[in-house]
C-alpha cells in the first residue's frame, strides 16, 4: 500500500508539472511581446521605464497614468501576467479601416484576457473616442478578449497608487531573508508593531524590508500613506515565521 501511494503521489506531481508547463506555454502564446517599443521621448512625451518582477521584463511607458496602472497590474494578485502596447487592432470607423494599439493586455487568474486603454479623465467621453472604443470592444470580443477604458480618476482614487510607487522598489530588490526579518520582528512584538518600533529592535529589519513586507501584507495599503508610523501585523497563519 505504501508503494502504491508513493507511485500515485509521483504521478500526481508529474501531472501537476505538466499542467503547469502547459499553462505557462498558453500564457506565453496568449500574451504577445509589445508591438511598439518606446525607447525615448517622442513628441515631447517623457518615456518612463518600468521593470516588472512579475514578468521579468522591462518596458517603456509614455505617461504617468500608464506607470501607475502598471504598478497596479504588478501588485494585483488577480493578474498573472501583463504587457504594454500588446497588439495592433484593426477597427472600422466612419467606413474606414484603422489600426490602433491599446495600452495594456493582462491575463487574470481565471485565464481571462483583458485589453485596457488608459486616458486622462474626460478624454474617454468624446463621441469620437466612445465610437472608437466600442469598435475595439466588438472586435476583441470575437477573439474572446475583454476591453475596458480606465481614467486617472479610476486609477488614482485612493492611496494605493502612491504606496505602490513608494513600496515597489524595495519589494523588487529585497531578499526573502530580509523580509523574514520583519516577520521575526513582529513575532517579538505580539505580531503587531509600527515600522519605527521594528527598526528600534536589536538586530532590526531595514526600512526597505518593512516596505517589501507591506507591499504584500499591509491591510491599509489603499487608505494610508506608508511611513515610520505605519502599523504592520501578521495574522495567525503567519505567526510561526
HEC profile of the chain? CHHHHHHHHHHHHHHHHHHHHHHHHHHHHHCCCCCCCCCCCECCECCEEEEECCCCEEEEECCHHHHHHHHHHHHCCCEEEEEECCCCEEEEECCEEEEECCCEEEEECCCCEEEEEEECCCHHHCHHHHHHHHHHHHHHHCCCEEEEEEEHHHHCCCCHHHHHHHHHHHHHHCCHHHHHHHHHHHHCCCCEEEHHHHHCCCCCCCHHHHHHHHHHHCCCCCCCCCCCCCEEECCHHHCCC
| Domains identified in the chain, total number | 2
Which residue would you say has higher pLDDT here, 120 or 17? 120
Domain for residue 61, yes or no? yes
pLDDT(7) > 60 = no
Which residue would you say has higher pLDDT here, 45 or 18? 45
pLDDT(32) > 90 = no
Residues 32 and 151 reside in one and the same domain: yes
Domain for residue 11, yes or no? no
Residues 124 and 167 reside in one and the same domain: no
Residue where the block lists cell 507591506 = 214
Domain for residue 6, yes or no? no
Residues 174 and 67 reside in one and the same domain: no
Domain boundary among 119, 138, 155: 155
Residues 138 and 45 reside in one and the same domain: yes
Average pLDDT over residues 225-235: 96
Q: Which one, of 76, 58, 152, 64, lies nearest residue 114 by Cα?
A: 76
Domain for residue 1, yes or no? no
What's the pLDDT at 42?
52
What's the pLDDT at 27?
62
Residues 128 and 205 reside in one and the same domain: no
What's the pLDDT at 99?
87
Residues 113 and 65 reside in one and the same domain: yes
Domain for residue 201, yes or no? yes
Residues 125 and 165 reside in one and the same domain: no
Domain for residue 55, yes or no? yes
Residues 123 and 44 reside in one and the same domain: yes
Which residue would you say has higher pLDDT here, 44 or 234? 234
What's the pLDDT at 236?
60
Residues 112 and 217 reside in one and the same domain: no
What's the pLDDT at 62?
87
Average pLDDT over residues 193-213: 98
pLDDT(11) > 50 = no
pLDDT(45) > 80 = no
Domain boundary among 96, 122, 155: 155
> Widest CA span of the chain, in angstroms?
71
Q: What backbone torsions phi and psi does residue 93 show, to the nearest 5 degrees?
A: -140, 125
Which residue would you say has higher pLDDT here, 146 or 16? 146
Residues 134 and 177 reside in one and the same domain: no
Whole-prediction pTM value?
0.82
What's the pLDDT at 94?
77
What's the pLDDT at 10?
41
Residue where the block lists cell 467606413 = 95
pLDDT(180) > 50 = yes
Domain for residue 171, yes or no? yes
Output the domain CATH number for residue 55. 3.40.1350.10
pLDDT(235) > 70 = yes
Rounded Cα gap, residues 79 and 99, in angstroms? 27
Q: Which domain holds residue 230?
A: 160-238
Give the pLDDT confidence of 118-152 residue by residue, as tens digits: 999 888 788 989 999 999 999 999 999 999 999 99
Domain boundary among 155, 170, 195: 155
- Let me know: does 219 contact 233? Beta carbons within 8 Å: yes
pLDDT(223) > 60 = yes
What's the pLDDT at 48?
87
Residues 186 and 137 reside in one and the same domain: no
- Let me know: does 161 contact 128? Beta carbons within 8 Å: no
Residues 43 and 134 reside in one and the same domain: yes
Q: Which one, of 175, 147, 177, 168, lies nearest residue 216 by Cα?
A: 168
Give the pLDDT confidence of 75-123 residue by residue, as tens digits: 999 999 999 999 898 888 777 888 889 999 999 999 999 999 999 988 8
Amino acid at each position: 500500500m505504501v508503494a502504491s501511494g508513493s507511485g500515485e503521489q509521483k504521478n500526481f506531481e508529474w501531472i501537476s508539472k505538466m499542467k503547469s508547463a502547459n499553462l505557462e506555454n498558453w500564457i506565453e502564446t496568449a500574451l504577445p511581446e509589445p508591438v511598439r517599443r518606446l525607447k525615448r521621448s517622442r513628441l515631447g512625451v517623457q518615456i518612463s521605464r518600468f521593470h516588472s518582477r512579475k514578468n521579468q521584463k522591462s518596458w517603456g511607458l509614455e505617461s504617468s497614468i500608464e506607470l501607475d496602472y502598471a504598478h497596479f497590474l504588478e501588485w494585483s494578485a488577480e493578474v498573472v501576467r501583463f504587457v504594454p502596447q500588446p497588439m495592433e487592432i484593426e477597427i472600422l470607423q466612419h467606413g474606414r479601416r484603422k489600426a490602433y494599439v491599446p495600452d495594456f493586455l493582462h491575463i487574470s487568474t481565471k485565464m481571462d484576457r483583458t485589453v485596457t486603454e488608459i486616458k486622462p479623465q474626460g478624454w474617454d467621453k468624446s463621441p469620437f473616442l466612445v465610437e472608437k472604443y466600442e469598435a475595439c470592444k466588438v472586435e476583441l470580443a470575437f477573439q474572446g478578449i475583454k476591453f475596458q477604458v480606465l481614467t486617472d480618476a479610476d486609477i488614482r482614487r485612493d492611496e494605493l497608487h502612491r504606496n505602490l510607487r513608494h513600496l515597489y522598489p524595495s519589494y523588487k530588490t529585497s531578499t526573502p531573508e530580509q523580509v523574514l526579518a520583519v516577520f521575526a520582528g513582529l513575532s517579538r512584538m505580539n505580531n503587531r508593531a509600527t515600522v519605527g518600533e521594528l527598526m528600534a529592535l536589536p538586530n532590526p529589519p531595514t526600512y526597505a524590508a518593512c516596505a517589501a513586507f507591506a507591499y504584500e501584507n499591509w491591510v491599509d495599503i489603499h487608505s494610508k500613506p506608508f511611513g515610520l508610523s505605519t502599523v504592520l501585523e501578521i495574522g495567525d497563519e503567519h505567526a510561526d515565521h
